[in-house]
Structure 1
């Protein structure tokens, strides 16, 4: 599939235009997107991506279309897993809910710039050195193993060298000043924590790109398809974050599904590397007659793995127990530490009560295991005590009575 310079230019202009539209029409006014707003714009961005894919299918042929859709679905799935990390990161920095979308949009823009650079670097390496396929395949297999070892259940916020360096170098004020990056404290101009959050999001994006770019090159080596599938998977991610906020807690087995997908693509890359082999110490630099995994089969397996992962997350008792526990912990932390807006505090508290009701509806084994976690029960007790104080002060409403399981 050959793409002219004019098509490249029009594509880049279109993607930049969508980003600017987001900046000037969505996040300039600080607000918490409603579920309806998030759903509408998520549908718009997914619709644009799918329509573009059908355009590739019609104009570029069946192989190009299948490669685009395989890349898009894989990158979108990886992006959803990244959203969970962003959720923990925004919580650890105590970013008010209304300001989160601007941080996310900055992260998406930064990620798109970084990944574009990685895409062209990867394309140049692949065109020059066939052994790069071995390297990319090994990276994906290692990443798959790391995903299997990861434990999201303890809800520890992300901590990497970039975040630690940013905390040490950037001296910021104690409190946010809306979404401003600079504020004035006691007559002195200071950086706000918002800048620190943006650096942390951007640095984490770089680490994500090290996994996602080899993954999509395992599905297609066409630079245009790699770029567009990556770009469209990122566009609309901000709206998706607010749409599936609660659903993120339910996808407790997503990491296992992604590990299987990355392992599949890693094997596909290594098989392709064997087929194209010119490494002297492997078969004397001659190609190895190895079977290759077709793009159609890859797309089918990726979609199948994701469906099984989502269904198992939603239906298994253990998955539901982890879902409700994680959600209750997050809502309690939000209520205690993050939000000061009374209306949103009420909303968070009602969500907390709903999650506690879900926990109480679990089978006895999982319910007992959940309430045996002292850290969780202490957290829930503190949230209820704070709510009682807010009700007494008249800043919150008393909800309908509900059994919480916390004494």
Structure 2
């Protein structure tokens, strides 16, 4: 898709305006209700759908299909990120009324960092087509790793701060309690970070780790930097509301890791086939409609099986509790 500089500028300005609106809505710290989260989740998804349809009308059907495939993939991977966000909120004991501010700034940091990743990835792909082999192999490895983690009985119950975050804390110091929405305060004559600033940095920098698999994944669906960027932007910008909407459902998506591993493995194979095709080897390539069907199908099946498994687990736990209560009586 041929994208002019004017369209790039207009898109960035439009996304900036949407972020400003989101910030204006969430500027006052408050507990986000399910109704509020639900309404704005629908709004963000509707905006993404309208953008995809706009690509179809003013661009091409292929560009629209690539956007929707990329958006759905990035959105599903973002839902997996929410598990870590929950751990981060618990680690730093973030007050409920400040969580929406943390997510807003944290996601904004993540969006800027991903833009850097996308620009770097596009430059590398343009210069070295063999990088598709590396991306494909990495996604297949990540898919296998996800399966291994899903099958493991050990669950990560606490968020571990990365080295960058620890070094920032040591360099500036951290206050011992929250001070409303302040990011810095003066303590004993020294300017120090508040816990709110630290948790925002934790959300933003942790997302870089997720970008290591999500960016190659979307480049496996499209090599158009414009579509890669906009799909990531729309997937991330509704993440704050999604956190509050499905926070209680996250633990019920017990098969999500399996579904994501299938998707990443599938895209990894697609990348390898594309790389072979680029080197002159005659192999079949997987089309965008097929990719979109596989991604949506896997997510639907994963969600259904997760909810069934969670329901059965809840029934077993209720039966065991009832049996113990009857014995105790």
| Matching residue of 2:177 | 175
| Matching residue of 1:19 | 19
Partner Cα separation in structure 2 for residue 139 and residue 236 of structure 1: 27
Q: 1:296 aligns with which of 280, 286, 289?
A: 289
Partner Cα separation in structure 1 for residue 248 and residue 59 of structure 2: 38
Partner Cα separation in structure 1 for residue 226 and residue 214 of structure 2: 16
* Alignment CA distance shift 1:87-1:320 (3 Å): farther
TM-aligned CA deviation for residue 245 of structure 1: 1.1
Aligned length, in residue pairs? 324
CA RMSD of aligned residues (A): 2.4
TM-score by length of 1: 0.74
Check conservation: 1:70, 1:298, Cα contact below 8 A. Answer: yes
| Matching residue of 1:58 | 57
| Matching residue of 2:246 | 244
TM-aligned CA deviation for residue 168 of structure 1: 4.3
Unaligned runs of 5+ in 2: none
CA displacement, residues 175-230 of structure 1 (integer Å, 9 cap, x when unaligned): 11122122355676532211221221122011111111100000001111111111
**Paired residue secondary structure (1:244):** helix
| Matching residue of 2:158 | 157
Partner Cα separation in structure 2 for residue 103 and residue 55 of structure 1: 32
Partner Cα separation in structure 1 for residue 304 and residue 172 of structure 2: 43
TM-aligned CA deviation for residue 72 of structure 1: 0.4
TM-aligned CA deviation for residue 294 of structure 1: 0.9
Check conservation: 2:172, 2:191, Cα contact below 8 A. Answer: no
| Matching residue of 2:265 | 263
Q: How does 1:1-400 map to 2 (within 5 A)?
A: 1-23=1-23, 25-150=24-149, 154-159=155-160, 160-185=162-187, 189-277=191-279, 287-316=280-309, 321=313, 360-361=317-318, 363-364=319-320
Check conservation: 1:175, 1:193, Cα contact below 8 A. Answer: yes
Check conservation: 2:169, 2:193, Cα contact below 8 A. Answer: no
Partner Cα separation in structure 2 for residue 262 and residue 171 of structure 1: 39
TM-score by length of 2: 0.91
Partner Cα separation in structure 1 for residue 228 and residue 110 of structure 2: 14
Partner Cα separation in structure 2 for residue 196 and residue 108 of structure 1: 14
Partner Cα separation in structure 1 for residue 167 and residue 11 of structure 2: 36
CA displacement, residues 80-108 of structure 1 (integer Å, 9 cap, x when unaligned): 11111111111111111111111111111
**Paired residue secondary structure (2:178):** coil
Partner Cα separation in structure 1 for residue 30 and residue 137 of structure 2: 43
* Alignment CA distance shift 1:231-1:297 (3 Å): same
* Alignment CA distance shift 1:44-1:104 (3 Å): same
CA displacement, residues 136-173 of structure 1 (integer Å, 9 cap, x when unaligned): 11121121122122259634223243344445445212
Partner Cα separation in structure 1 for residue 268 and residue 98 of structure 2: 38
**Paired residue secondary structure (1:111):** helix
**Paired residue secondary structure (1:72):** helix
Q: Determine which structure has more spread, i.e. the larger CA radius of gyration.
A: 1
**Paired residue secondary structure (2:221):** coil
Moved more, 256-265 or 168-177: 168-177
Q: Which has the higher contact order (CA 8 A, sep 6+)?
A: 2
